[in-house]
Structure 1
């Protein structure tokens, strides 16, 4: 029996089955563009721990910063006895996020927690309750964020009741919404909001600039700016959920920059911490400071070890210019995938930005989602040593999220495996 098989046997006896894994091998070491399991098998990494290890799994500066911080102290709770690194991470968020207005930031543990706190801030600042989200959205697995998330299985099924005052508007999904341009799709969404909710009741409009779990959906140009303009006119807070798209993933520091958006609030996590759990909410000072002292926080929020990792990750992103690296990855992935698409009638679209790229699989010559082939292709990739993830409301999207430090040779090797998996 292999070591992975032995570990899997132990897992079945110890870990709740509701916690799934993409592969059944167990990782011993990871870095750059590859993972190595406990049996010595190597995997090319097109997952990045779901867009977390942008700087790699063991970036030297992150390792060094974490080691040094652990030797000093692992925890005091910033709400009890504060420390400089929390302040420094907030300063970096203020500097890096779009918008020249005065900002404040607060730190948390996970993306879902960041989203919950952004909603809390918006409700407190506006005195309103309604939150508008979109078809195909994913915002987390806590009770409020399950309400905000659009997909039932596996995220919401039999976990209700969910938090109230959440309303869903139609998303701009160019492949599937009849060719509406951005302005038309925005008018459709705004019409739903105004009819079903009323502009004066909306505390926040919450949206991913590029949807993640929903299928790497890139809205038509103009859709996001039109929503942001409507929110400003309505007195609602425009929140960009940049948890999966942030920190150089799409070829800019934040995906909002692709359309010159300046959201009122931005939520961050994933790539922010170099692999350690840390999240943030950053935005307009008048909104962030509207909440009373003690109204925001949490025991572990902005943990000093995670803050050290985040500062080192940002330093690595600057030094290696990982936004440019993401654009280089796009310049390799997209032409290769378009060439595959030209030979495969079961691929409806290649889409995404930077190192956040996907293909949507459909019935050949049609537009019906093909989740069975998607799962089979992904499994064939795994069997051949390429770690891929699926996503999409219909389970028919293969997404590619390589670390931004992946060598070109590993990208090409991964593409070769993918071609063979699709062909077979």
Structure 2
């Protein structure tokens, strides 16, 4: 992917800039230790740069795809993500994910933020300042600005209407960068964004569909248990279609024109940092963790946020409102970036076009929510032990262990997801 060697990265002006990841694959054994992290940062920040000792950013095992450190530097505090050890690294294709995120920060995002987008401070501030990415055999890191001193933090575990609305407005702006660039410089967009993009399934575990199928079986059982009034009228064809969704999962992230965009790929509450006003109301948002960024349907990001992160009440009462919020934000941003009339955009990117694209791809987020939501409900000690492979046996027994530990509330929430997609008639 490009030059090894040192890159000095200064403070961001209009957006993230500069460093690229070494072309060497991180395929050896071992973790990136603290001394290695400090040495790499010194090389990238320049001779004599002040770099403090890395300290754990969170408890061991808390990061699903990385081990994280906090590091004080003369350019400000940083968060440094490093490759974890086995079995997580190989099972989850984390080498590929680290290289993918490095490409996003070093090449793709600077391109998307170029020209008019780079002048839009509202958009530029949606991303953390990128410092560097680096890989040696068996080791890799990505370093970005630590946003905690600026007051940014994760939202509650499920997003209320205010948080959901802000998240989808930000997503509309992010997706608008792709659609605007496709219209403005199509050949360069194809070269920078599309040609080098890996398909979502190339970045994720081979075992994911098998895990999904087991979790989906439990979710359908929970639907029948907690919503028996629905069972008689809907238990047949609807449930059979839902159980068959896993068969088409690999294609759920396929790009379809004209709406295909660079998606975040993992757009959920865990990867959104909110800034709050004095009254505690969220006012701003920064997107983080772009390991799964890929060129695909916008429905991939939309469906994951709605099914995995929005509360059941928000989904039930505000579904159409939130989809409209997203599209309105996207068109407003495109209008500003392209300087064209709203009527032109309304015609080319109609509500019907977005609705059909979402219907064709929303099973992506639904299936990930069915799989991932139970793990988010586990007690932290059990989750950490499963993440380290200590309690993992075959897939069926692993999923059974999870379901036994999420309780009645967890099973009900899974059943509610099935009820939502049946009620909306998507499948």
Shorter-chain TM-score bucket reads under 0.3
Higher relative contact order (CA 8 A, sep 6+): 1
Which structure shows the higher strand fraction? Answer: 1
TM-score, length-scaled by structure 2: 0.25
TM-score, length-scaled by structure 1: 0.25
